[in-house]
């Protein structure tokens, strides 16, 4: 039975076109800036997001950390959402490795940070306090259930950062999902940001890699940070080749994943025992009713054992299951999942 893996979009495998491009990739030593395929990916990514330069990194985590290390000095503070991936799921790399202090503010249900909270999180010029250097957003917001942040909201935060001489970073792991959902050019979501990380290896299906974009001097510093983190690769064009296919051919189809997430949410909501909590972009999340007759673990275990369907409980909230659609989840898979959940809970 073919496995239907809905645990995350990170599980998506490379497409046949990516495997072919990887086999044909021209390569060089990227530490010498000699890899033509990496150079192409970096140039195309920078142009697409409206920035001067880019650096290819191994992961979203590494891209975010390189950005913070390049922007901030030890002992400085950044303002960040309390459920952001950078704060919750990157092992506190900024503090461990950069001596940077996170000052958290509450993430709202729509994934935004309130401007009044940002305002009051800025430290005064007082020798008791760390210097506040940067504000960071996440788009789409993972723990807010894949919520896309609008260009208007992003512009307000960019304006806030500028007025307060703060730098502005976006963890845009899924920023192309946000652009697709909002029907805007991605540049509208990155304008005004000093740096943006986006992932090639989630909905865009590349096997490895993310890209960090920003100004030329910033990217020079980020490359140094990548080096000390052990992330500078040699013939990385093999990976960048898949990244180029991802960047140029996989963005336009993300709305198919959103459509499939919508169908999945609709189908699940009609099953007695399922309490649908929401659907945004390629995320669907739900819980089981108290009288569903199965615990969450029994439910997840039975789906895997009897139907080869993989789901995982949501780490942000107990009792919740979060699903992500991606390239390898088609309409037929959606129908199978709805039928399997219906059969299990009947
Ligand atoms: N998120 C993963 C897990 O780590 C939770 C997932 O399955 O969603 N920013 C955001 C918003 C992310 O969701 C992730 C990955 C990252 C950064 C980190 O990317 P990687 O895994 O490439 O380091």
Tokens of 263: 């169908």
Listing DSSP states for 146-157 in one string gives SBPPPHHHHHHH
In sequence order, the 6+-apart residues with CB closer than 8 A to the CB of 330 are 260
Q: Which of 180, 108, 92, 175 is nearest to 143 (CA)?
A: 108
- pLDDT (0 to 100) of residue 317: 65
Decide whether any atom of ligand 1 lies within 6 Å of the 9 Cβ.
Answer: no
Q: Residue 224: its pLDDT value, please?
A: 98
3-state secondary structure of 212: strand
Q: Which of 173, 196, 281, 310 to mutate to test the pocket of ligand 1 (most atoms within 8 A of CB)?
A: 173
> What pLDDT does residue 142 have?
95
pLDDT tens profile 4-26: 999 999 999 999 999 999 999 99
Mutate to test the pocket of ligand 1, among 60, 90, 201 (most ligand atoms within 8 A of CB): 60
Cβ atoms of residues 189 and 149 within 8 Å: yes
Phi, psi of 108, deg, nearest 5: -80, 160
Nearest CA to ligand 1 atom 8: 8
Residue 11 near ligand 1, beta carbon < 6 Å: no
Ligand 1 within 6 A of 5 CB? no
Residue 282 CA to ligand 1 centre (angstroms): 14
What is the per-residue pLDDT for 292?
87
CA–CA dist 44, 37 (Å, integer): 11
Pure H helices in the chain? 16-24, 36-49, 60-71, 85-88, 93-98, 115-121, 151-163, 175-182, 187-190, 216-228, 237-249, 254-269, 296-307, 331-345
Minimum-distance ligand 1 atom for the alpha carbon of 63: 23
Residue 202 CB–ligand 1 contact under 6 Å: no
Residue with the two structure tokens 């699940």 = 268
The finding on whether 89 has its CB within 6 A of some atom of ligand 1 is yes
Q: Which portions of the chain are predicted below pLDDT 70?
A: 315-318
State if residue 328 touches ligand 1 by the CB under 6 angstroms criterion: no
Probe residue for ligand 1, chosen from 85, 144, 189, 231 as the CB with the greatest number of ligand atoms within 8 Å: 85
Please, what's the largest Cα pairwise distance for the chain? Answer: 64
Tell me how far CA of residue 238 lies from CA of 68, 96, 207, 229, 234, in angstroms: 27, 31, 11, 21, 10
**Any ligand 1 atom below 6 A from CB of 93:** no
Q: Is the CB of 199 under 6 A from ligand 1?
A: yes
Residue 60 Cα to ligand 1 middle (Å): 6
Are residues 53 and 64 in contact, defined by beta-carbon separation less than 8 angstroms? Answer: no
Closest CA to 314 of 302, 296, 330: 296
Omega of the bond prior to 140 within 30 degrees of 0, cis?
Answer: yes
Atom of ligand 1 nearest to the CA of 140: 11
State in Å: Cα 173 to ligand 1 middle: 7
Q: Which DSSP category does 291 fall into? A: T
CA of 171 to the centre of ligand 1 (A): 10
Structure token pair of residue 281: 């972009």
Rounded-to-integer distance, Cα 279 and Cα 261, Å: 7
Residue pointed to by tokens 């959902």: 181
Tell me 113's DSSP state.
Answer: B
Q: What is the pLDDT of residues 269-316, one digit of tens each?
A: 999 999 999 999 999 999 999 888 888 989 999 999 999 999 988 766
108 SS3 class: coil
């Amino acid at each position: 039975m073919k496995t239907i893996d809905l645990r995350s979009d990170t599980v998506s495998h490379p497409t046949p076109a990516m495997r072919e491009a990887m086999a044909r990739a021209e390569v060089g030593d990227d530490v010498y800036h000699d890899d033509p395929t990496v150079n192409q990916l970096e140039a195309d990514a920078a142009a697409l997001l409206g920035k001067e330069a880019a650096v290819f990194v191994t992961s979203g985590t590494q891209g975010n950390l390189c950005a913070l290390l390049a922007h901030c000095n030890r002992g400085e503070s950044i303002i960040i959402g309390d459920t952001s991936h950078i704060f919750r799921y990157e092992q506190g790399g900024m503090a461990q490795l950069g001596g940077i202090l996170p000052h958290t503010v509450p993430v709202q249900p729509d994934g935004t940070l309130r401007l009044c909270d940002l305002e009051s999180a800025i430290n005064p010029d007082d020798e008791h306090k760390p210097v506040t250097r940067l504000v960071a957003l996440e788009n789409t917001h993972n723990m807010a259930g894949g919520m896309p942040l609008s260009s208007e909201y992003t512009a307000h935060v960019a304006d806030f950062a500028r007025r307060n001489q703060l730098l502005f970073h976006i963890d845009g792991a899924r920023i192309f999902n946000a652009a697709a959902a909002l029907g805007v050019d991605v540049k509208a979501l990155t304008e005004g940001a000093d740096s943006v990380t986006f992932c090639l290896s989630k909905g865009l299906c590349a096997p490895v890699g993310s890209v960090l974009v920003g100004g030329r001097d910033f990217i020079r510093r980020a490359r140094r940070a990548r080096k000390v983190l052990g992330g500078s690769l040699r013939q990385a064009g093999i990976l960048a080749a898949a990244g180029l296919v991802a960047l140029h051919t996989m963005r336009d189809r993300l709305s198919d994943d959103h459509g499939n997430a919508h169908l999945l949410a609709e189908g699940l909501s009609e099953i007695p025992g399922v309490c649908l909590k929401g659907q945004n972009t390629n995320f669907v999340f739900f819980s089981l009713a108290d009288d569903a007759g199965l615990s969450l673990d029994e439910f997840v275990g039975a789906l895997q054992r009897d139907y080869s369907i993989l789901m995982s409980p949501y780490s942000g909230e107990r009792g919740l299951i979060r699903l992500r659609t991606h390239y390898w989840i088609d309409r037929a898979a959606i129908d199978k999942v709805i039928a399997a959940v219906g059969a299990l809970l009947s």
